Structure 1
Amino acid sequence: MSGVDIERTDGIATVTMNDGKANIMSAQFLGELITAVRSAADAGEIVVLRSSIEGTYSGGFDVKALATRDPATVIEMMKAGADLIHAMLIHPRPIVAAASGRIFPMGLFTLLAADYRIGDSEQAQWCLNEAQLGIVPPDYAFDLLRYRFDSNWLSRAILTADMMSAADGLAAGVFDRLASGDEVETQAFRVAKLLADSPASSLAGIKRKLRSEVADRIRTSSERELSVENYRKKYAA
């Protein structure tokens, strides 16, 4: 059963996440998102990324896969995460994200890779909880985090692993705007329609200037770091 659905209307591809649980970003789930984003890119569509699970945007990376410490399993998932971020950053049209409920890495990274992010002022909560899990995020994650976050917010969030509020997210750079309840998605589609009416060539050129440098950095970091050999060295007893 697919955890990702795509609907197309008037130049807007609505990509909905729902794995029936918490939108856990396994290698398979990430692969489905990559396929959806690339399909929208091929069609020249604006993307609206959303979750249809009440109270949850994404539970983040598959912790069970990480816990195996199996190099091939972990690297496959980490590479898929890097590929999704890269696909979002180089997408020629803007990506709008609507987020409500809890947001964990890798879900948080999809927000940071989107171009316009609207969070639920009452329900959205986010964190970088790798420290609590005994995990050091990959280099590409730090490339994205440094690109989006003020350094003080990044230090606080990743060292303490605190669950942060929507207001914190607005201040830190996770969200561009906050709304309440149904207005989150209403405003997301309003922004998407406004962008869909703008000249595609100018938006593509602007986005390329905004995102190409960090996209290249993420690609280089993932290719350099993410290998079974490097993973084994990292966690050698």
Structure 2
Amino acid sequence: MLKLIRHDAIVEINLARPPVNALDLSLLRDLRQALHEAPATGARGIVLSGAQGMFSAGVDVPALMGRERDEVRAFWREFFAVGAALARSPVPVVAAITGHSPAGGAVLALFCDYRVMAEGPFKIGLNEVQVGLSVPDCIQLALRRVVGAYRAERLMVSGSMIESAEALALGMVDELTGVEQVTTRALHWLTELLKLPEHAMLATRALARADLAEAYRDIDQLPLDDFVNGFFHPHTQAVLQGLVARLKKK
């Protein structure tokens, strides 16, 4: 489900769960472990990449439907734990957004230090509202940090999916390049960052990201049960069941 590729001092964690890199419990657990192990084994930076045309389609909704509450809660706790691993990473993480990045895929990208996205008709956004899910404040924070409070509100309340050019204009991503060059550009940016005096760079980074790190200091203090209650809300279940039915027809 993951490919780990070493680029000198940088580890590339490549999402490799065809066809769309949907996030299930196994992938999330593997990803969290990889994020923790990379710095522990000497990596000074991480690039998180996907497949050309699809970074990650977000949560594997069909895999969650029909599950018992404790199973659903375990999944979402792991999802937030991955967010914590990114938010509190001791080394810089760059998202190589190699294509579409809705919902959970966008969350992964937003928790990174820097975002390179494929230019063209690829879309990104926190579109949870469109599928009947609310966006908890601990995730809203990540978008507010990069685009500002008002713009984040407009994007999340409407569940907007925006193309790469608009994402760049709004500051949701930091640069665009051809889909074949996304990972290369991510590696280049991170390589240049790592040339800076390490102590000063990491100390400044820690201060700049302190709000995000603090929000994820204790996973069990996050409003996980409120979110799970929302997942099981009858209206949400109806919307999600409709989504699953449409996916099965494709």
The separation in 2 between residues aligned to 1:69 and 1:20, in whole angstroms, is 22
Cα deviation digits, residues 113-165 of structure 1 (max 9, x gap) = 11111111214311222112111123321232222332332233222223211
TM-score, normalising length: structure 1: 0.87
Partner of 2:74: 76
Of residues 126, 129, 133, the one that matches 2:127 is 129
- Matches for 1:47-62 after TM superposition, within 5 Å: 47-51=46-50, 53-62=51-60
Partner of 2:101: 103
Partner of 2:223: 225
The separation in 2 between residues aligned to 1:234 and 1:56, in whole angstroms, is 25
Percent of pairs with identical residues: 25
Give the direction of change, closer, same or farther, for the CA distance of 1:115–1:140 in structure 2 (3 Å limit): same
Partner of 1:200: 198
Unpaired segments ≥5 residues, structure 1: none
Letter of the structure 1 residue corresponding to residue 183 of structure 2 = E
The separation in 1 between residues aligned to 2:230 and 2:189, in whole angstroms, is 46
Larger deviation: 4-13 or 174-183? 174-183
The separation in 2 between residues aligned to 1:222 and 1:173, in whole angstroms, is 31
Runs of 4+ in 1 over 6 A off after TM superposition: none
Give the direction of change, closer, same or farther, for the CA distance of 1:70–1:132 in structure 2 (3 Å limit): farther
Give the direction of change, closer, same or farther, for the CA distance of 1:15–1:236 in structure 2 (3 Å limit): closer
The separation in 1 between residues aligned to 2:41 and 2:201, in whole angstroms, is 15
Decide whether the 8 Å contact of 2:138 with 2:222 is kept in 1.
no
Letter of the structure 2 residue corresponding to residue 81 of structure 1 = F
Letter of the structure 2 residue corresponding to residue 117 of structure 1 = R
The separation in 1 between residues aligned to 2:68 and 2:137, in whole angstroms, is 19
Larger deviation: 101-110 or 177-186? 177-186
- Matches for 1:35-184 after TM superposition, within 5 Å: 35-45=33-43, 46-51=45-50, 53-68=51-66, 70-184=68-182
Unpaired segments ≥5 residues, structure 2: 235-250
Give the direction of change, closer, same or farther, for the CA distance of 1:174–1:68 in structure 2 (3 Å limit): farther
Partner of 2:246: none
Partner of 1:32: 30
Cα deviation digits, residues 5-52 of structure 1 (max 9, x gap) = 11223111011011011111112211111111111121342101111x
Cα deviation digits, residues 169-202 of structure 1 (max 9, x gap) = 1133321111123232221111122123333322
Partner of 1:5: 3
The separation in 2 between residues aligned to 1:236 and 1:164, in whole angstroms, is 27
Letter of the structure 2 residue corresponding to residue 9 of structure 1 = H
